[in-house]
Chains A and B, each alone.
Chain A
Amino acid sequence: MPVEAVRDETIGVPDGEQARQTMTTTTTRTPLLAMRQICKRFNAVEALVDVDFEVYAHEVVALVGDNGAGKSTLAKVISGVLQPDSGLIEMEGETVAIPSPSAAHDLGVATVFQDLALCDNLDVTANLFLGREMTGRALLADAQMEDAAKKILRDLSSRIPSVRTQLRDLSAGQRQSVAIARTLIGSPRIVVLDEPTASLSVAQTAEVLTHIQGLRDLGLGVVLISHNMNDVRAVSDRIEVLRHGRNNGSFDASSASYEAILAAITGATHQGYRSVPRFA
Chain B
Amino acid sequence: MNAIPALKDVFTRGQRQSDPDTPRAPEQGGEPRVVGAVDALRDVFTRNLRQSGIYIAFVAIIGLFAWLTDGLLLSPDNVTNVFLQYGYILILAIGMVIVIIAGHIDLSVGSVVALTGAVSATFVIKQGHPSWLGVLVALGVGLLVGAWQGFWVAFVGIPAFIVTLAGMLLFRGMTLRVLHNISLSPFPTDYHNIAGGFINGVLGGNGYDVFTLVVAAVGIAGYAYSQLRNRRGRIRYQQSVEAFPLFVLRLVLVAVVVMALAWQLAHSRGLPVVLIILGILIMTYSVITTKTVFGRHVYAIGGNLSAAQLSGVKVKKVNFWIFVNMGFLAAVAGVVFSSRSNGSQPAAGQMFELDAIAACFIGGASTTGGVGRVTGAMVGGLIMGVMSNGMQLMGIDQSVQQMIKGLVLLLAVAFDIYNKRRAGAAR
Contact = CB atoms under 8 A, between A and B. Distances in A.
Contact of A118 (B291, B293, B304): B304
B8 A140 contact: no
B300 A122 contact: yes
Q: Main SS of chain A's interface residues?
A: loop
A130 B308 contact: yes
A139 B292 contact: yes
Interface string B292-327: 110010011011101111111100000000000000
A162 B238 contact: yes
B292 A121 contact: no
Contacts of A130: 296, 300, 307-308, 311-313
A203 B4 CA distance: 7
B119 interface: no
Interface string A197-230: 0000111101100000000000000000000000
Interface string B219-247: 00000000000000110011100000000
A31 B399 CA distance: 74
Contacts of A202: 1
B427 interface: yes
Given A130-B296, A169-B427, A102 B312 contact: yes
A203 B1 contact: yes
Instruction: Report, as a range, how many residues of chain A touch the other chain.
Output: 35 or more
A207 B5 contact: yes
B296 A120 contact: no
B97 to A, nearest CB: 14
Given A202-B1, A203-B1, A131 B311 contact: yes
Contact of A120 (B233, B237, B303): B303
A41 interface: no
Nearest to B372: A121
Interface residues of B, number: 34
B17 to A, nearest CB: 14
A173 interface: yes
Contacts of A117: 304, 306-307, 310-311
Interface in B337-378: 370-371
A121 B302 CA distance: 9
A267 interface: no
Contact of A162 (B1, B239, B308, B313): B239
B287 A203 contact: no
Interface string B197-238: 000000000000000000000000000000000000110011
A140 B299 CA distance: 14
B392 interface: no
Contacts of B302: 121
A105 interface: yes
Contacts of A237: none
B37 interface: no
Interface string A61-99: 000000000000000000101000000000000000000
Interface in A101-117: 101-102, 105, 111, 113, 115-117
Contacts of A139: 287, 291-292
Given A118-B307, A146-B237, A203-B5, 14 more contacts: A101-B310, A101-B312, A117-B310, A117-B311, A119-B307, A119-B370, A120-B370, A121-B304, A122-B299, A132-B311, A140-B296, A173-B5, A201-B4, A203-B4
13 contacts: A119-B299, A119-B304, A121-B303, A121-B304, A121-B371, A130-B296, A130-B308, A132-B312, A139-B292, A159-B9, A164-B234, A165-B239, A206-B2
Interface of A: 79, 81, 100-102, 105, 111, 113, 115-122, 126, 130-133, 135, 138-140, 142, 146, 159, 161-165, 169, 173, 201-204, 206-207
